[in-house]
């Protein structure tokens, strides 16, 4: 199924742009109403207007639905607040593609302007926004302790989300935020330090990618869809660079653990690698001893049980180290991967 989607994207700090886009969408809806009232096609306009449910050509279209899907000449346009939307049908797929490309380019210009305006207005609240725009996401589900947005290809399961990459987070919103309060209330948040872009692919006419985040409750996976390959590249660049920048800024992570049944402190350092320090009680006056220390180059393999145990294999006589983190090890594992990825990228050892 080849369906063209166009989402109007405007930040809350741009009321003038929002007003213009809303008027454009209202005009299009009015135009559609006049055209379909005078049409003998038997398809009522009420069946083609939707309130921001990212469902392509809903079942209300009746017997015409499959025919319209096969024609591949429909275009969806949504207002950023989720109130207005319309579906447009071109005379043929080529014209639909031309309209999509033109609208998409215009909306990208508006998005860039909105990003600049939002940074001027919200810098003290969110820090600097790196990238914003619309994506589609699978409805979330929980399986085996992992939160997962399903990866089926059913177009009815995709939901539109407004996404923003800040200096430290990937934020997902149900609609474009219009106020500082709305910007501060995303429906989902993924810390970039423990977030990884794990895959991207094109399935039939869908351009998809997956983001995994190590959280205290386990691994959260979001299956997302972009509208064009350029959009996919921009999102991938923002996420990867954001994760690397967070790793370089964080520099060091310290967490308590048990090693060989004794309390210890694991230090993960961006430059120095792994250090395990003993933990002394408050009555001990001497300095804590270093139990072991290894650079990143010595790491041969890492594994975890998803509950509390982490295994680090440094090879040699030391062999495998087992650490009890007393909590889910996934955040530490994902941060470790981002540390290594950032170091490799810094050395230029990437494709």
pLDDT in tens, 246-266: 999 999 999 999 999 999 999
Residue with tokens 């809806």: 29
Q: Name the range with the highest mean pLDDT among 10-19, 32-41, 137-146, 161-170.
A: 161-170
pLDDT in tens, 94-141: 888 888 888 888 888 888 888 998 898 888 888 899 999 999 998 654
Query: What distances in angstroms separate CA 276 from CA 112, 143, 252, one per listed residue?
Result: 46, 34, 13
Task: Report the predicted TM-score, pTM, of the whole model to 2 decimal places.
Answer: 0.77
Which CATH code for domain 4-249? 2.30.29.30
Partner residues linked to 266 by β-bridges: 255, 276
The yes-or-no answer to whether 4-249 and 251-347 have a common fold is: yes
Is the domain covering 251-347 a CATH 2.40.30.130 domain?
no
Indicate whether 92 pLDDT > 60: yes
Average pLDDT over residues 39-54: 27
pLDDT in tens, 299-343: 999 999 989 999 999 987 877 899 999 999 999 999 999 999 999
Phi/psi region, residue 259 (left: phi>0; alpha: psi -120 to 50; beta: rest), is: beta
Query: What distances in angstroms separate CA 254 from CA 61, 229, 296, one per listed residue?
Result: 57, 39, 16
Look at residue 234 in the predicted model and tell me its pLDDT: 94
With beta carbons less than 8 A apart as the criterion, state whether 341 and 326 touch.
Answer: no
Partner residues linked to 294 by β-bridges: 274
Indicate whether 167 pLDDT > 90: yes
What HEC string does the chain produce? Answer: CCCEEEECCCCCCCHHHHHHHHHHHHHHHHHHHHHHHCCCCCCCHHHCCCCCCCCCCCHHHCCHHHHHHHHCCEEEEECCCCCCEEEEECCCHHHHHHHHHHHHHHHHHHHHHHHHHHHHHHHHHHCCCCEEEEEEEECEEEECCEEEECCCCCHHHEEEEEEEECCCEEEEECCCCCCHHHHCCCCEEEEHHHEEEEEEEEECCEEEEEEEEEECCEEEEEEEEECCHHHHHHHHHHHHHHHHHHHHHHCEEEEEEEECCEEEEEEEECCCEEEEEECCCCCCCCCCCEEEEECHHHCCEEEECCCCEEEEECCCCCCEEEEECCCCCHHHHHHHHHHHHHHHHHHCCCC
Look at residue 90 in the predicted model and tell me its pLDDT: 86
Alpha carbon distance 51, 29 (integer Å): 12
With beta carbons less than 8 A apart as the criterion, state whether 48 and 87 touch.
Answer: yes
Indicate whether 165 pLDDT > 60: yes
Is the pLDDT higher at 209 or at 53? Answer: 209
With beta carbons less than 8 A apart as the criterion, state whether 307 and 324 touch.
Answer: no
With beta carbons less than 8 A apart as the criterion, state whether 137 and 151 touch.
Answer: no
Domain boundaries, the chain: 4-249, 251-347
Helix-helix angle 330-347:229-250, to 10 degrees? 100
Alpha carbon distance 7, 162 (integer Å): 10
């Amino acid at each position: 199924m080849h369906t063209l989607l166009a989402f109007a994207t405007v930040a809350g700090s741009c009321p003038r742009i929002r007003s213009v886009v809303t008027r454009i969408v209202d005009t299009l809806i009015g135009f559609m109403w006049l055209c379909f009232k005078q049409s003998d096609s038997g398809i009522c306009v009420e069946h083609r207007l939707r309130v921001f449910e990212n469902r392509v050509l809903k079942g209300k279209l009746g017997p015409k639905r499959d025919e319209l899907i096969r024609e591949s000449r429909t275009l969806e346009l949504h207002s950023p607040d989720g109130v207005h939307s319309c579906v447009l049908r071109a005379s043929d797929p080529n014209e639909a593609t031309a309209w999509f490309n033109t609208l998409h380019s215009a909306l990208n210009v508006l998005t860039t302007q909105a990003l600049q305006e939002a940074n001027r207005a919200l810098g003290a609240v969110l820090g600097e926004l790196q990238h914003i725009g619309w994506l589609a996401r699978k409805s979330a589900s929980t399986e085996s302790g992992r939160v997962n947005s399903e990866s089926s290809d059913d177009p009815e399961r995709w939901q539109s989300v407004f996404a923003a990459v800040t200096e430290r987070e990937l934020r997902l919103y149900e609609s474009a935020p219009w106020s500082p309060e709305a910007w501060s209330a995303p429906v989902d948040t993924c810390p970039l330090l423990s977030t990884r872009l794990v895959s991207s692919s094109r399935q039939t006419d869908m351009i998809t990618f997956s983001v995994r985040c190590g959280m205290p409750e386990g691994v959260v996976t979001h299956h997302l869809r972009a509208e064009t390959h350029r959009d996919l590249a921009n999102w991938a660049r923002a996420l990867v660079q954001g994760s690397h920048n967070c790793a370089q800024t964080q520099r060091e992570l310290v967490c308590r653990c048990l090693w060989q049944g004794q309390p210890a402190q694991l230090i993960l350092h961006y430059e120095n690698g792994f250090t395990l320090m003993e933990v002394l009680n408050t009555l001990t006056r001497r300095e804590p001893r270093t139990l072991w220390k290894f650079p990143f180059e010595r790491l041969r393999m890492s594994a975890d049980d998803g509950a509390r145990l982490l295994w680090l294999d440094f090879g040699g006589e030391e062999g495998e180290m087992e650490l009890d983190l007393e909590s889910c090890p996934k955040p530490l594992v994902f941060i470790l991967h981002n540390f290594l990825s950032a170091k490799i990228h810094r050395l230029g050892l990437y494709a």
